[in-house]
Chain A
C-alpha cells in the first residue's frame, strides 16, 4: 500500500465521518453510533429521536455514499482522459459528456411535461443517454479505418460542445422562468434529495465504470512515452482509447444523471495526486478516485452548513474552494508542474 494512497484513504474516511456527523440537524456522536448500531440490530442503550434516525439514515448517509461514488467516478474519468490525451486540461466535459447530458436533461425538462413522462426518472435516464450519445458521436468522428486520432477527437469534442450549447440556448429561450431556474440549479450540481433507490440504480453503472479503469494503469503508463513507443511495448492503443472513452461516458453520464453537472473535480484531482505522488497511473487512478470522493463529500458538507437551513449548489462550492487552492498550487509549482506527458 503506497503511502500517498494510505493518506488519501484516511482523508476520505475522515471526511465521510465528519459529513455523517455534521449538518443542520444536530445529532450528538453517541446517538449517531447508537442509530447506526440499531440499524444492524445492536442496542447501545443510548436513546434517540425518530427524526434523528431518519435524518442520518435517509438524508445524510445517501448523500455521503453518492458523494463518494460520483466524486470517485469524476476523479478516475479525469485521470484516465488526461492520461489518454496527454493533456493536463482534459476532463470529461472536453469529449462532450457533460454538454450532451445537459442538453438531454433540458430537453426532458421542457418537453417532459408534454410527453407526460415522470421527470424524476426521465431526467437521469435522458442525461445518461445524452452524455453517451455525445461521446459516441465524438469518437466516431475521430475514428477513421479503425484508427482514432486524439487530435480529431479533441476538435470534434469542441464542435459537439458548441452545437450542444447552442441547442441548449434554444431550449433556454423556449422554456419558462421556472423551467429555466430548475435547469440552472441542475447545472450547478447537488447531492440533495437523493434516495437509496436512486443510488441503487446508479451505483452499478458507476462501479462498472470505475473499477475496470484501474486496470488501464499499465497501458496509460506506456502511453506517457508516446503512441509509437506504446505500440512497440505491445499496447493496443486504439483499444485503450475505446475503453477510456467508454468508461468515462459511463461514469460521468451516470454521475450527471444522479447529481447534475459538477465541474472541476475531474479536472483538478488528477493534478493534485500527480503533485503528491508523481505520474505513475497505478497510483494516479486510484488516488484520483479517493481524492475526488473526499473533495465532493467535503464540498457537500460545506454546501449544507454555510447557508443553513438553506443549501448551496455543490458545484459552486467545489469551484469556489478548489479553484483558489489549485491556483495557489500552480503558482507554487510553476517550474515543476508534472503534466500528463511531461517529465
Chain B
C-alpha cells in the first residue's frame, strides 16, 4: 500500500509524459508508415535518419544491411498491390520504373500517397532524390543537412587531383555470361561514374550494357578494370582475370590495375555517389 503511494508521483509523471509524447507525435509525422522502392531510395531514407518509418522495402534495397531485415515486397517493377497494402503504409516512395502502373494506381485509390522519386544518372540526381524524399517524409531540415554533405563531398571530389595527366581508359565489368564479359558502353550510369572519378570509358562503340567478345576486350586495351567486387571474387580475384586469355593481354591486368567496386552503390546515384567516386579516384591514383 505504502509502496504504491511512494511510486505514485513517479507514475503520475510517467503518465503525463507519455500523454505529452502522444500529443507531440500526433503533430509530427513520425508515425508515418513508409514503403521504399529502389535501392537508392532506401539508402536516402536511411541517410536522412528516417529508417524508423520504414515498414517495407523492395528486393533491391540491400544497403545498409538493416534494410534487408525489413519485409520485402518483391521486385520493384512487378509489384503486387495487396502485399504492399498489407503493410498499411501511408506513403510509398517509388523510384523511377516502379510498377506496373496499374498497381501504383490501385495503391493511390486505396488512399496511399505514392511519391515518384526521380531517377537520373548524374551526381545531381542524388541531391534531387534527397530533396523529394525529405519533403515527402516531412524532414526538410534533415534533407538540407544531407544535401549540404553530398554537396561538400562533390566539392571535395572536384578539388582532388586527377589520377594522372591523361584520364586512364577504364573497362567497367559488371557480369559474365559464358565466355563474354558484360561491360558498360556509352550513355550508361557506369560511364558517368568513371568520368566523375576522372577515368574515361574504354568502350565507345555502343550504348548501354552489352556482352563484349574477347577480341573486342583486347582491342579496347583498357588501362584499368573496374569490376563488381562479388564478380571478381567469383572469378578468382586478379589471378582469375589473368587466366582469361583476352583480359590477360590487357595493360590493366598486366599491371594489376583492377579496382573492385560495390556495383549497386556505384550505379545507384544515391547518397554514397560522391563518396564512391572519391574512393575510385583515390584507387586510380594509387594504381
Co-assembled chains A and B: yes
Chain A residues with a Cβ under 8 A of chain B: 23-26, 50-51, 54-55, 58-60, 120, 173, 176-178, 181-182, 185, 190, 192-195, 198, 304, 307-311, 313
The complex places the Cα of A192 from the Cα of B84 at a distance, in Å, of 12
- Interface CB pairs A-B, < 8 A, 27: A23-B86, A24-B80, A24-B83, A24-B86, A25-B85, A55-B81, A55-B82, A55-B85, A59-B82, A173-B211, A178-B97, A181-B77, A190-B78, A192-B100, A193-B100, A304-B80, A307-B72, A307-B74, A309-B71, A309-B73, A309-B80, A309-B83, A309-B86, A310-B59, A310-B80, A311-B78, A313-B78
B83 touches A310 (CB 8 A): yes
Selecting from B23-31, B102-110, B151-159, B279-287, the interface stretch reads B102-110
Task: Point out the residues of chain B lying under 8 angstroms from A192, CB to CB.
Answer: 78-81, 100, 103
B contact residues around A51 at 8 Å (CB): 85, 88, 110-111
Give the distance to chain A from B102, nearest Cβ to Cβ, in Å.
4
Tell me, rounded to whole Å, the shortest Cβ–Cβ distance linking A24 to chain B: 3
Q: Which of A25, A58, A60 has the most CB of B within 10 A?
A: A25
- Given A176-B209, A185-B78, A194-B102, A311 contacting B83 (CB threshold 8 A): yes
A224 to B84, CA, bound (A): 50
Which B residues are CB-close (under 8 A) to A182? 77-78
Question: Using Cβ atoms and an 8 Å threshold, which residues of chain B touch A176?
Answer: 208-209
Q: Enumerate chain B interface residues (CB-CB to A < 8 A).
A: 56, 59, 71-75, 77-88, 97, 100-103, 105-106, 109-111, 208-209, 211
- Across-interface contacts of A60 in B (CB, < 8 A): 82
Residues of A within 8 A of B97 (CB): 178
Q: Chain B contacts of A313 at CB under 8 A?
A: 78
In the A-B complex, the 9 residue pairs with the smallest Cβ-Cβ separation, listed nearest first, are: A310-B74, A309-B83, A24-B86, A311-B80, A193-B102, A54-B110, A193-B103, A193-B100, A25-B86
Chain A residue nearest to B101 (CB atoms) is: A120
Contact partner of A54 (CB less than 8 A), chosen from B77, B80, B87, B106, is: B106
Give complex CA distance A36, B228 in Å: 53
- Contact flag A309-B81 (CB < 8 Å), given A120-B101, A177-B209, A193-B102: no
A55-B82, A195-B102, A311-B83 are known; give 7 further A-B pairs, CB within 8 A: A23-B82, A25-B82, A50-B111, A193-B102, A307-B74, A310-B75, A310-B83
**Given A25-B82, A176-B208: A181 in contact with B74 (beta carbons within 8 A):** no
Query: Taking the nearest CB of chain B, how far is it from the CB of A273, in angstroms?
Result: 31
Contact B74 A54 (CB under 8 A): no
Q: How long is the Cα–Cα vector from A173 to B178 in the complex, in angstroms?
A: 14
CB-CB under 8 A for A185 and B77, given A55-B82, A58-B109, A310-B83: yes
A59, B81: Cβ atoms closer than 8 Å: yes
How far, in whole Å, are A26 and B59 apart by their CA atoms in the complex? 23
Min CB distance, B208 to chain A, in Å?
5
Quote the shortest CB–CB distance from B75 to chain A (angstroms). 7
Contact B85 A304 (CB under 8 A): no
Distance in angstroms between the alpha carbons of A313 and B77 in the assembled complex: 13
CB nearest to B97 among chain A residues: A178
Among B59, B85, B109, residue most surrounded by chain A Cβ atoms (within 10 Å): B85
Tell me, in angstroms, the Cα distance from A193 to B102 when the chains sit together.
5
A97–chain B nearest beta-carbon distance, Å: 23
**Residue among B73, B82, B84, B87 with max Cβ neighbours from chain A (10 Å):** B82
Nearest CB in chain B to that of A191: its residue? B80
Residues in B neighbouring A58, C-beta threshold 8 A: 106, 109-110
Measured between alpha carbons, how far is A72 from B246 in the docked complex, in Å?
54
- Cα distance A194–B209 when bound, in Å? 32
Would you give the shortest CB distance from B145 to chain A, in whole angstroms? 32
CA gap between A23 and B59 in the complex, in Å: 20
The answer to whether A120 and B102 touch (CB under 8 A), given A55-B110, A176-B209, A304-B83, is yes
Of the candidates B72, B79, B81, B88, the one having the most CB atoms from chain A within 10 angstroms of its own CB is B81
A309/B84 in contact, CB under 8 A? yes
CA distance A269 to B102 in the complex (A): 31
CB distance from B135 to the nearest CB of A (A): 24
Which residues of chain A are near B82, meaning CB under 8 Å? 23-25, 55, 59-60, 304
Contacts of A193 in B (CB 8 A): 79-81, 100, 102-103, 106
* Inter-subunit contact A54/B83 (CB<8 Å): no
A24 touches B85 (CB 8 A): yes
CB neighbours of A198 from chain B (8 A): 102
Could you say which residues of chain B place their CB within 8 Å of the CB of A178?
77, 97
CA distance A58 to B109 in the complex (A): 9
In the complex, what residue of chain A is closest to B83 when comparing beta carbons? A309
> Given the interface contacts A54-B110, A304-B82, A304-B83, does A311 sit within 8 Å of B74 by beta carbon?
yes
